[in-house]
Chain A
Amino acid sequence: MQRLLILETTCDETAAAVVTDELEVLASVVASQDELHKKYGGVVPEIASRAHVERILPVIDETLRRASIKPTDLDAVAVANTPGLAGSLVVGVAAAKALCLALDIPLIAVNHLQAHIYACRLAAGRDVFPCLGLIVSGGHSSLYHCRTPLEFDLLGGTIDDAAGEAFDKVASLLGLPFPGGPALDRAAQQGNPKAFDLPRPLLDDPSRLDFSFSGLKTALRYRLCKPGENMPAQPLAPELVSDLAASFTAAVIDCLWGKTALALRKTGLKTLCVGGGVAANSALRARLQVERERAGIELFIPPMRLCTDNAVMGAIAVERLKAGLFESLDLDAFPGLLRPASQKESHQQTQ
């Protein structure tokens, strides 16, 4: 049996996991969701990238402790090196390289978005490839043609705001409490999704598999106040908030499902895997279940702990381990999401 240590520092979370080559999870630690910071003292900032520097070693120690193994028991180290915040990514990458150098074991690169799809494979407990991957989170909204766990083609993505970001910002416009996504979800459940006629950007363009949520956010703003006018005084009437939340949610979901359906038709795929924190949205889940039956496809949505950022989903590295796809110790971090036009370059970079 081989054991992999997996590191995840692409955005806010510092996370580590130990997974076997049979995809058994021996330990998983996510710093912000943990009592870890109390144990090690000090307040853990949620955002600052250099906070990863302070957290990475305690998180690794705690993960190994919970897995009841020593560093020398590890057979490889995997790290998410793209996409994300540059300053955050390099912390995980540097830690992974240092461990590989010290332990003389192979280094494996993980694409954070591909890992989100692989969370479906883990949750399903069986093969889900080939599949269409829909990633909807605070930072990403992308569609992937996932041929095998090693071959992903980006089909399209947001050209401005991510879906989760749009939910958060609209929640803020409506005066809903933080975190905005869940609050908007709750408000929307009480509202009429047809109360306001909001646009479905790009939905009528069958040549593109992209999303655009920025204009939708602006359109909602104009339902609240005319351009040039100030926003009405908060708090807004609860019925208005609920109707706006429901109408906005319906518009976003129409766009997400519309492009997903188009991608299923274009690729001929019969399996849909969904990942990212927005997969928690109740209206999205309900819509996907309805469409699953209508379209006769297989649908996988992992449990929440595997939807939000975590290191367990980096078990996609097991596939690379088995294929012998290792990185040299000059592995770099790539912050940007690489689009089809620039994927050739990325391929060269990962070789």
Chain B
Amino acid sequence: MPRTFSFRAQNIQDTERLGTALAAAFPDGVIALDGPLGAGKTRLVQAIAAECGVNRADVVSPTFVLMHEYHGDRPIYHVDCYRLRDDDEYNQLGVDEHYGPPNLVLIEWAGRMERCMPNDRLDVAISPMGSEVREFNFVAHGENATARLAELRRMLT
């Protein structure tokens, strides 16, 4: 089964559609987001969380408090590694306690803490190509994420 997939969002609506599909294809698990400042990581998290029944206005950047918890149709943990300096700080945050069903864990700036990411996860690299145009490159790690990425691809193509 292929472990990679690319999706190009031509506008905000496409990004919303991607968020909807991710929420459906990944009922739980870990989605690790990366991309430069302003790429739209929080935006994608908002789209996923809204699909899970969370009030969109409650989904704000967790940069300063490091982790938000939302109660939608499933527990969602919204983590931000932007301010974290080393593995130890990530580990002390206790994010790993939330890996696994029924939780959906969405991690921004995950590349900064790559060694702390679980073996089974979906990496999402976001590249801005235009004011609303975004290239999303997915890499699945582990069996679960690979099967779910196949589901995501089916939903989007």
Contact = CB atoms under 8 A, between A and B. Distances in A.
Interface stretch (A66-74, A95-103, A251-259, A331-339): A331-339
A341 B55 contact: yes
A48 B58 contact: no
Contacts of A165: 61, 63-64
A42 interface: no
B128 A210 contact: no
B85 interface: yes
Given A160-B42, A222-B131, A227-B129, A49 B93 contact: yes
B157 interface: no
B43 interface: yes
Contacts of A47: 66, 83-85, 89
Name B's interface SS. loop
A139 B64 contact: yes
Interface residues of B, number: 37
B65 interface: yes
A220 B84 CA distance: 24
B69 A86 contact: yes
Contact of A50 (B42, B57, B92): B92
**Interface range, A side:** 35 or more
A228 B57 contact: no
B75 to A, nearest CB: 12
Interface string B39-82: 11011001000000001111011011111111000000000001
B155 to A, nearest CB: 26
Contacts of B65: 10-11, 83-85, 139, 335
A342 B58 contact: yes
Contacts of A32: none
Contacts of A210: 57
Contact of A227 (B88, B89, B94, B131): B131
B69 A335 contact: yes
Contact of A228 (B56, B68, B89, B128): B128
Interface of B: 36-40, 42-43, 46, 55-58, 60-61, 63-70, 82-85, 88-89, 92-94, 127-131, 133
Given A227-B133, A335-B68, 9 more contacts: A49-B92, A85-B67, A157-B60, A162-B63, A169-B37, A172-B37, A227-B129, A227-B130, A335-B69
